Amino acid sequence: MTDQKLNTVAQLRANGTFLSLSRQQAALFAQPLDFILDNGTKVIVPCEGIIVFEPATISNKDIVYSCGIHGNETAPIEICDELVQQLLTEKLRVVHRLMVIFGNLPAMDIAKRFVEENMNRLFDGEHSNPDVPQNAERVRAAKLEQEVRAFFMAPSLNKQDEQGARERFHYDLHTAIRDSKNEKFAVYPFTPGIARKPEQVAFMGACGVYTILLSNSPTTTFSYFSSKHFGADAFTVELGKVHPFGENDMSRFADARKTLTDFATNPVFQLPDYDSDKFLIYHVNQVINKSKGDFRLNFDEDVPNFADFQRGFVFAEESGRQYVAEQDGEAIVFPNANVEIGQRALLTVVPTTL
């Protein structure tokens, strides 16, 4: 190892500041780095903002936590930063392989959702769409996919005669732009041909998330990518509303922090049983894309996610077209009239069961 690498490893082990080094001195991680902690954990840094912990004894679970895919969604970044610090300084140790991803470092630096483009629309290959010019977010999305694939498909752990032997998990952690009637909620990606898992919904409950949105079509989100390609149990988890770094009331994230930490580090981690009475489950009814420049939403900026409307209510309109509630209780999620033409401006959802 070069002196500079030794120095970087020493800094990481002394104070665990992987995220701040990634943000402030990304060049330190221009070449992959690996080292072993005193407790036997192997640490691998493939590039800035991505770190892998492997226990001395490998279990059958591989876990990915990603955060900061949107740079201003600070609470999950703080949760992951703290977990990484505790692992590097050996206050905690992993019992399963764990990859922690800090997604959009330049967007964090400017405290914005993104620099040029919403990264969570760039997965499952969209980053390389030949019809769209490249940018830093597209390059980064491709890199994240490459590293997640390398992590889940590590050749030494995925021998041909052990198909399906490994359990894979990916929780992509976010906070929402607007208030939500159900402050925390999670999107369960489309899993064609595979039953939804009650125990995964119970895991969301243990994270304090009791509203689950079942997606029923392919998409270009990070969690869908891991679900589709690696059979991972994956969710996009919305943990509350966006606040600046250091201004989050972290007590509101205590359940998520504890459960995510326990899952990776507690050898006797136990989930509560799934109790359907505790959850609100929705499925997507309409995906409304903005197709004209005059697209507008027919409700106020401050109407929360999951606010519901009567059948016939006009959610949105644009030249030549109205978008109408098809049933009573149809609710809105992720409204944003300021997206590019051709992009999703609104989802509507209706109650269902698992």
Name the residues annotated as catalytic.
238
Q: Which is nearer to Zn ion, 154 or 177 (CB)?
A: 177
CA-to-CA separations, 331 to 228, 242, 345, in angstroms, rounded: 27, 21, 14
* Spatial distance between the Cα atoms of 354 and 343, rounded to a whole number of angstroms: 28
**Is residue 174 part of the contact set for Zn ion (CB under 5 A)?**
yes
Residue closest to Zn ion when measured from CB atoms = 174
User: Which residues, in sequence order, are bridge partners of residue 213?
Assistant: 187, 282
Cα separation, 244 vs 253, in Å, equals 15
Site string for Zn ion, 71-110 (x = CB under 5 A): --x-------------------------------------
Candidates 12-20, 28-36, 170-178, 226-234 — which segment interacts with Zn ion by CB under 5 A? Answer: 170-178
CB of 103 to Zn ion, least distance (A): 9
Residue 184 binding Zn ion, by CB under 5 A: no
DSSP string, 235-304: EEEEEEE---TT-S-GGGGHHHHHHHHHHHH-TT--PPPP-GGG-EEEEEEEEEE--STT-EESS-TTPP
**Least separation, in Å, of the C-beta of 242 and Zn ion?**
8
Closest C-alpha to 189, from 212, 152, 149, 216:
216
Nearer to Zn ion, 55 or 76 (CB): 76
Least Å distance between CB 70 and Zn ion? 4
Residue 70 interacts with Zn ion (CB under 5 A): yes or no: yes
How many Cβ atoms are within 10 Å of 4's Cβ, its own excluded? 11
Judged by CB under 5 A, the stretch of 13-21, 43-51, 70-78, 87-95 that binds Zn ion is 70-78
Q: In whole angstroms, give the CA distance from residue 285 to residue 282.
A: 9
The encoded tokens of residue 217 equal 């079509």
Q: Is 228 in the site for Zn ion (CB under 5 A)?
A: no
* Residue 44 vs 77, nearer CB to Zn ion: 77
CB of 73 to Zn ion, least distance (A): 5
| Residue 253: CB minimum distance to Zn ion, A | 15
Taking the C-alpha atoms of residue 36 and residue 53, their distance in angstroms, rounded to an integer, is 9
Report which of 60, 186, 48, 45 is spatially closest to residue 104, judged by C-alpha positions. Answer: 48
Count of residues that interact with Zn ion, criterion CB under 5 A: 3
Helix-, strand-, coil-residue percentages of the chain, each rounded to 5: 30, 25, 45
CB-nearer residue toward Zn ion: 73 or 330? 73
- Which two structure tokens, joined as six digits, stand for 42? 């192997």
Q: 168 or 174: whose CB is closer to Zn ion?
A: 174
In the complex, minimum distance from the CB of residue 174 to Zn ion, in angstroms, rounded to a whole number: 3
Nearer to Zn ion, 172 or 330 (CB): 172
Pairing state of beta strands 280-289 and 42-47? unpaired
Stretch that binds Zn ion, among 37-45, 167-175, 186-194, 210-218 (CB under 5 A): 167-175
- Which of these ranges, 67-75, 142-150, 239-247, 262-270, lies near Zn ion under the rule CB under 5 A? 67-75
Stretch binding Zn ion (CB under 5 A), from 64-72, 133-141, 145-153, 323-331: 64-72
Chain residues that interact with Zn ion, rule: CB under 5 A = 70, 73, 174
